[in-house]
Amino acid sequence: MTTPPIEPATGHTDLLAQILDYANRANPYPLYAELRKTPVVSTYHEIVALMHDPRIGVAGMGAPAGSAAGGAGADAAAGGGAGAFIGMDPPEHDRLRRLATSHFEQSETVRSDMLGTATGLIDRMRGRKQIDLVDDFAYPLPVAVICQQLGVPHEDEPRFHPWAEAIITALDPRPGQQAAAAQASAEMNQYMAGLVERFRTEPGTGLLSGLAAEDGLSTADVVATGRLLLIAGHETTVNLITNGMLTLLRHPHVLDRLRHEPELVIPLVEELLRYEPPVQLNPKYTTLDDVEVADVTIPKGSRLLLALAAANRDPNRFADPERFEPERENNEHLGFFTGIHYCFGAGLARQEAQVALTELARRLDNPRLLRDPPPYRPNPTLRGPRHLPIEIDGINPR
Ligand code: HEM
C-alpha cells in the first residue's frame, strides 16, 4: 500500500494536488479519506511501523522548508550555521536531544507562568465585543512561554515576536517571503549568540544557559537548538489553540461542559491533536535501504510523505474516526508524531493548550464564531486559521 510519494503514481497526484490546494484548506478530511484508499503512507499502523524502523532517516536530505513542525524550516531560515537535531539521524540526533532534554524545565512554575501570561492576554480583551483569537491570544502566548524556557531576559522578549513572525513566514514555501526572514534570522542568531556567550561567564536560568555550560557544544550548536525550539513550538501551538477553540465553538455543549468540568481538558486536548492536528503532513523522511510495508517494497532513497492527519482518522485504528469525541479512550494519535523524532515539546504544548482552552472557556462570556469556516493560512503542512474572529458579550472576572 506504500509507494515513494515524492512522485506519486497517477491517481494520487490529483488527490495530493487537491490537498495542497488552498480551496480545500478548511476541510481537507474527505480528501484524506480518499488518500487512505491509495498507496501513499496515510494509514496509522504503516506510519508507526515505518517510523520505528532504523532504515528510515533524514540522512542527506536535510529538511525542506515548510516541513513538519518547522524543523526543516528552522534550518532553512537559519541561513546556514549549525544544524538542529530535528534534521539529524542517530547517534548525533540522540546526543543533542538528550542534552536539550536535560536542560528543559517542566515544573509547576512553568505552568503558573503560562497561566499568568494567558490571564494577562485575556484581561486585555476587556471592553471589547469582538476579538481575533489568533492575534489577541494564540499567537503571542507560545513566544512568551518559549522565551521563558530559553532564559531570554523578560525585557528582551518583545524583540522575539517580530523575529519569530518573520522566520515563521519563511516556512511558507511561496516566493517573496524570504528576504525579511533572512534579516530577522540573522538578527536573532546574533542576539542569541550574544546571550549564550554572556551565559558562559555569568550563568543564568533556562535552556540556553544550561547548554552553554555543557562541554563539546559550540555557541552555534546552542543557538541552533534554541532556534529549533522557538520555531518548532510556535505555529504548531498557535494552531492547536486556535483549532481547539474553533472545534469547541462548533460543539457548544462541549465548551459548556469544559466550563464546569475543567478536568475534561486533558482528554479533550488529545482528541484535538487527533481530530485537527496542527502538523498534517510530514514530508521529511527518506528510506536509507529498501523497506517493505504492507506487502509493498519502497526502494532505497525514496522520499516519504507521511499523511499524519489521514492516519489520525484511520478506521482501522480509531472507532468512528470522523467523530469528535472529547473523552475518547486509547487515543494514541500521531499529532506529535512517533518514533525517535516524537515531539520534544509535547509536554509543554499539552500544558499550553490545556491552560489556554480552560481559561478561554471560563472567561469569554458567550463567545460566538463570526466566520465559519474562518480564513486559513496557506500552508497545507502546518494547517490552521490565520484569523478566528469571535464575538463576545464581555470578559468574566478572573
Ligand atoms: C501543538 C503543538 C505541537 C505540535 C502539534 C508538534 C508536533 C511535532 C511533530 C509532528 C514533530 C515531528 C516533526 C518531524 O519529524 O519532522 C515534532 C518534532 C519536534 N517538536 Fe513539536 N510540536 C508541537 C509543539 C512543540 C513545542 C512547544 C516545542 C518546543 C518546546 C516543540 C519542539 C519540537 C522539536 C525540537 C522536535 C524535533 C524532535 C526530534 O527531532 O527529535 N514542539 N513536533
Q: Which of 52, 98, 344 has most ligand 1 atoms within 8 Å of CB, for mutation? A: 344
CA distance 141 to 29: 28
Residues 321-347: tens digit of each pLDDT: 999 999 999 999 999 999 999 999 999
Place of cell 519563511: 170
Can you read off the three cell numbers belonging to residue 90?
Answer: 542517530
Q: Tell me, what's the pLDDT at 59?
A: 67
CB 117 within 8 A of CB 144: yes
The dihedrals phi and psi of 352, each to the nearest 5 degrees, come to -60, -45
Helices 235-250 + 140-150 axis angle, to 10 = 140
Pocket test for ligand 1, best of 236, 273, 284 (most atoms within 8 A of CB): 236
Kindly report the protein residue whose alpha carbon is nearest to atom 43 of ligand 1.
Answer: 343
Task: Please state, rounded to an integer, the average pLDDT across all residues of the chain.
Answer: 88
Residue 81's pLDDT is what? 46
Q: Look at ligand 1, atom 25, and give the residue with the nearest C-alpha.
A: 233
Alpha carbon 47 to chain centroid distance?
A: 18
Residue 242 phi, psi (nearest 5): -70, -45
Distance CA 68, CA 349 (A): 15
Shortest CA distance to 247 belongs to which of 369, 118, 365?
369
Count the Cβ atoms, other than its own, within 10 Å of residue 79.
16
And the C-alpha cell for 317? 485504528
Question: How many whole angstroms separate alpha carbon 1 and alpha carbon 37?
Answer: 9
- Residue 355 CA to its chain's centroid (Å): 17
Please identify, by atom number, the ligand 1 atom nearest to the C-alpha of residue 282: 16
Query: 357 C-alpha vs ligand 1 centroid, how far in Å?
Result: 20
Give dist(CA 265, CA 163) in Å, integer: 31
CB 365 within 8 A of CB 396: yes
The C-alpha angle 189, 195, 201, rounded to 5 degrees, equals: 140
Handedness of CA 175, 83, 97, 59 (dihedral sign): positive
Q: Could you tell me if 71 and 381 are in contact, meaning their C-beta atoms sit under 8 angstroms apart?
A: no
In this structure, the residue with its CA closest to atom 15 of ligand 1 is 341
Predicted pLDDT of residue 82: 63
Distance CA 74, CA 175 (A): 17
Nearest CA to ligand 1 atom 40: 86
Unique residue bearing C-alpha cell 523497506 = 291
Task: Identify the residue whose C-alpha is closest to ligand 1 atom 9.
Answer: 336
Residue nearest to atom 17 of ligand 1 (CA): 343
CA atoms of 46 and 38, how far apart (whole Å):
13
Task: Using the atom order of ligand 1, give the atom closest to the CA of residue 239.
Answer: 1
Residue 356 vs residues 50, 154, 359, 362: alpha-carbon distances, Å: 34, 21, 5, 10
Dihedral angle of Cα 160, 165, 169, 170, to the nearest 10 degrees: -10
pLDDT by residue, tens only, the chain of 398 residues: 333 343 344 456 788 889 889 999 999 999 988 887 754 688 899 999 999 999 999 965 444 333 444 443 434 333 334 689 999 999 999 999 999 999 998 777 889 999 999 999 999 999 999 999 999 999 999 989 999 999 998 889 888 888 877 877 766 655 666 777 888 889 999 999 999 999 999 999 999 999 999 998 999 999 999 999 988 888 899 999 999 999 999 999 999 999 999 999 999 999 999 999 999 999 889 999 999 988 888 889 888 889 999 999 999 999 999 999 999 999 999 999 999 999 999 999 999 999 999 999 999 999 999 999 999 998 888 999 999 999 999 999 99
**For residues 114 and 348, what is the distance between their CA atoms, to the nearest angstrom?**
10
Strand partners, 395: 364
Contact 301, 287 (CB under 8 A): yes
Q: How far apart are CA 63 and CA 208, in angstroms?
A: 23
- Please say whether the beta carbons of 236 and 171 come within 8 A: no
Pocket of ligand 1 from Cβ distances under 6 Å: 67-69, 71, 85-86, 97, 146, 228-229, 232-233, 236-237, 240, 278-279, 282, 284, 335-337, 341, 343-345, 348-349
Query: What is the C-alpha to C-alpha distance for residues 164 and 185, in angstroms, rounded to an integer?
Result: 9
* Among 209, 210, 244, residue whose Cα is nearest residue 356: 244
The pair phi, psi for residue 155, each rounded to 5°, is -70, -20
208 vs 202: CA distance, rounded Å: 12
